[in-house]
Amino acid sequence: MRAPLTLAILAALAAPAAHAIEVDGRIDPAEWEGAQHVTDFRLTEPLSRAPAPQPTEAWIKATPEGLAVGWRNTQPAGVPRTRQRAQRDQGGNADRVNIYVDFDGDARTGYNFTLLLSDSIVDGTITNENQFNNDWDGDWRHATSEDGDTWSAEILLPWHIAPMQKAGGQTRVIGLSLDRVIGETGERMSWPAIGFREQRFMSVFEKVTVPQYSQSLLAITPYAVGVYDAVNGKTDFDGGGDLFWKPNGQFQVSATINPDFGQVESDQLVVNFGAIESFFNDKRPFFTENQSFFDVPFGSLNTANRLIYTRRVGGNADDGSGAGDVVAAAKVNGSLGSFNYGVFAANEGDDVGRDFYAARVTRDFTPKQGLGAMVTRVDRPFRDRTATVYEADHRWTPTTQLSVRTTVVGSEVEIGGNGTAPRRDLRDSGGQVRIDYDMGNSWRQQLYLLHLGRDLQLNDFGFLERNNFNYGRYELGHRITDLPADGPFAAHDWRYAVSRRTNDSGVHIGDAWAFNRFSERRDGGNQFFEVAGWTAGHDDLITRGNGVVNVPSKLFLFAERFRPRKGHWALYGSVRYNADGLGGVDEGATTLFFEPTYHVNDTLSFFSGLELRHNPDWLLWQPGDDIVANGNRLGSFRSDMAFLSGGMTWLVDNKQELRVRLEAIGLDAQALQTWRVAPDGTPVASTEPLPDFGLRNLGFQVRYRYELAPLSYLYVAYVRGGSLFEEDIGSSFDATRQFTDAFDLRDSEQLLVKLSYRFEI
């Protein structure tokens, strides 16, 4: 059935346009003359693929200015409209439309453009079939309008918005999917009838043939920032700029001088005493522009694991003095014949600075098979260390039901040799394979296998939770959509999994089982629960290489519920039980979280969140100042933590927003028992003293943003924060005292003004 449709689209889109598209949100028949008209929208949330319950029609038209898509959505008075505004990339359960587009039609990199009825937008990239990342911001045109029982939307995507291969002849084949969501009910209607949560998403986009247009763009975005430090009583000024040049669709350059490290963005406060570092997204414009080409997930099913983690660039300096000083960085993306390529380089210019390099190339041999390869290198003179990583990946989709993704990596690290220390070389490898099979009748299965060598080193540039690891996981999934129409649920998605974990030394970490259910509700919300258990096994990370610890069985329970805005209120709540200490399944941590949001109207909202956690058996590494003598020392604590968050968002108009956000953490931990790890892994009680401790964190920001022009902003921000760690705090938990102590923190207090303006030539 697709061949006639593709031919019809080609005939319609290749016809000369009588009128240009004026993006005003109104479907003018004269403007859309000759466009492909799509009416076969099907339900994908719930995933029944039944005809759309509300008539939805769309028009697709390729113009010299860009790819244009328009919608007319029938929504009578009996189905309330949700006109809530949202900050860019925040979205929400509002009435909205989506474009998902793969400009090369090879299912490697896609882009998602979301337009809310309120004219708020979300944009991001899609990789690995259905992994979304909203860090990227593009420059595109959009508008909405309402008329009686319908509302309409228009989007124009300039051809310079993404790199594209040069196709043979006068046309190119792109992958395209459209959908529309009703905010009140959460129903999603898609063309073609695929859901973004399915294991195969991008690879089954509709193939659309369009004329091969090309646009050039030169954009320069200088920025200036002034910061007043109220703690130290001084003022600093800084500046820099980004450049983006795209002479044609097959070549583009991004460059930055003294890039902004995101002073106007704030990371969420976290408490992490574990062996695995916390992952944070990157919002710096240069490091998100066309970065998806380098996003190669590797290391687990957790999407945070990747071979390039851009927060390393300008991250903590090698001498521990603070953030690294990025002097300049450049990135080239393009295509040559049937090859796509990308090159990345960044330099930290001070004495403890690092140099980062990456090069990647991909080639698709058929629509069903393609290869990719990448090399990264990091030079760290202060540590006398050079790290190189080699990667190759293969994708194979032999049938519409089966897909196989394979990745192999190797690392080579040189340490020493330039000073008094003798040179050491570390070399190792790893690999993963993911096999997805759609069995039909709403059943699917997945097999995932992973090997990470003991000396595999990826974290000089990448993000890898751990090495020295072997992991196998089998998952069976079942989707249920034929639920009673008068019931609260629209669909259930069940998953059942078993897994095994060992390390390369043959240590059995643990076998696990899990089942969970994600449910779409007819009120537009959702809920989720999961039950998982581990067999008794070993923890080879907690002592940071100073011994393997025998641990008992583990139990994990989690449930959450989200109810979207009804009237003035939106609600979210969750409960969690984690039993992963030495006390077994009866000594788990209980966490309760509740976050209500009050919407005064469609532009002003207030939120507050409170998380309470009690852990009667918190096991932590306790090496003190002497890791050699105390590397195998652990401590058990009874802990209580309170996390308070709150704030306000006021979207004054389409160009102005005011945001207030507060986060405070108070944690008290009472010492219970010191342990030493015996050579056989047994934790042995010790009489060594173990102090109580407390932690207080504060983060507070007031931020005003004015959009001067697309991707051009004025920011004014007040930021205050601090952190306090203290021992011997006493034995009683007092949430009021915890928050009072946190609010008194003032390690930093700044007033920041930043101006950036994008000049397009």
Convert the pLDDT of each residue in 680-717 to its tens digit: 999 999 999 999 999 999 999 999 999 999 999 999 99
Q: Please state the rounded mean pLDDT for residues 620-633.
A: 90
HSE at residue 347, side-chain half, CA atoms within 13 A, is 9
Hunting for tokens 């583990």 — which residue is that?
A: 554
What average pLDDT does the chain have?
90
pLDDT for residue 420: 64
Q: Is the distance from CB of 314 to CB of 326 less than 8 angstroms?
A: yes
pLDDT for residue 9: 43
Instruction: Reply yes or no on whether the pLDDT at 66 is more than 50.
Output: yes
pLDDT for residue 617: 96
Across 220-224, 283-287, 376-380, least confident range: 283-287
Peptide linkage before 192 cis (omega within 30 of 0): yes
Pairing mode of beta strands 589-599, 633-650:
unpaired
pLDDT for residue 2: 44
Instruction: Reply yes or no on whether the pLDDT at 443 is more than 60.
Output: yes
Under DSSP, the state recorded for 269 is P
Q: Please state the rounded mean pLDDT for residues 511-524.
A: 94
The residues spanned by each domain of the chain are 2-215
Q: Is the distance from CB of 357 to CB of 460 less than 8 angstroms?
A: no
pLDDT band at 263 (very low <50, low <70, confident <90, very high): low
CA distance 546 to 675: 13
pLDDT band at 300 (very low <50, low <70, confident <90, very high): confident
CA distance 32 to 12: 11
CA distance 215 to 250: 10
Percent of the chain residues past pLDDT 90, beyond the cut: 68
Tell me the two tokens of residue 604.
Answer: 């002003």
pLDDT band at 751 (very low <50, low <70, confident <90, very high): very high
Q: Is the distance from CB of 179 to CB of 47 less than 8 angstroms?
A: no
Tell me the two tokens of residue 364.
Answer: 């698709």
Q: Is the distance from CB of 68 to CB of 82 less than 8 angstroms?
A: no
CA distance 403 to 365: 16
Please give the residue that has the higher pLDDT: either 666 or 4: 666
pLDDT for residue 6: 46
Highest mean pLDDT among 249-263, 313-327, 435-449: 435-449
For residue 7, is it left (φ>0), alpha (ψ between -120 and 50) or beta? alpha
User: Across the chain, which distance is largest between two alpha carbons, in Å?
Assistant: 86
Q: What is the DSSP string of 500-546?
A: EEE-TT--EEEEEEEEEEEEEETTS-EEEEEEEEE-SEEESSTTSSS
Instruction: Reply yes or no on whether the pLDDT at 166 is more than 60.
Output: yes
Q: What share of the chain is helix, strand, coil (3-state, %, to 5)?
A: 5, 55, 40
pLDDT for residue 14: 44
CA distance 458 to 388: 9
Q: What is the DSSP string of 100-111?
A: EEETTSSSSEEE
pLDDT band at 737 (very low <50, low <70, confident <90, very high): low
pLDDT band at 261 (very low <50, low <70, confident <90, very high): low
Q: Is the distance from CB of 293 to CB of 333 less than 8 angstroms?
A: yes
Q: Which residues contact 640 (CB under 8 A, 6 or more apart)?
A: 612, 613, 614, 615, 667, 668, 733, 735
Which pTM was predicted?
A: 0.88
Q: Which residues contact 557 (CB under 8 A, 6 or more apart)?
A: 529, 530, 531, 532, 575, 576, 577
Number of separate helices (H) and strands (E) present in the chain: 4, 41
CA distance 501 to 301: 14
**CA–CA distances in Å: residue 568 to residues 224, 600, 608, 647:** 39, 6, 14, 16
pLDDT band at 11 (very low <50, low <70, confident <90, very high): very low
Across 12-26, 234-248, 421-435, least confident range: 12-26
Q: Is the distance from CB of 115 to CB of 142 less than 8 angstroms?
A: yes
Q: Is the distance from CB of 166 to CB of 251 less than 8 angstroms?
A: no
293 phi and psi angles, rounded to 5 deg: -60, -30
pLDDT band at 1 (very low <50, low <70, confident <90, very high): very low
pLDDT for residue 3: 45
159 phi and psi angles, rounded to 5 deg: -70, -20
- The CATH code of the domain at 2-215 is 2.60.40.1190
CA distance 603 to 425: 58
pLDDT for residue 8: 43
Closest CA to 89 of 70, 109, 115, 128: 115
Instruction: Reply yes or no on whether the pLDDT at 488 is more than 90.
Output: yes
User: What confidence tens digit (pLDDT) does each residue in 334-384 have?
Assistant: 888 889 999 999 999 888 899 999 999 999 888 889 999 999 999 999 999
pLDDT for residue 259: 83
Pairing mode of beta strands 141-147, 369-380:
unpaired
Instruction: Reply yes or no on whether the pLDDT at 730 is more than 80.
Output: no
pLDDT for residue 321: 84
CA distance 526 to 563: 7
Percent of the chain residues past pLDDT 70, beyond the cut: 95
Q: Is the distance from CB of 190 to CB of 178 less than 8 angstroms?
A: yes
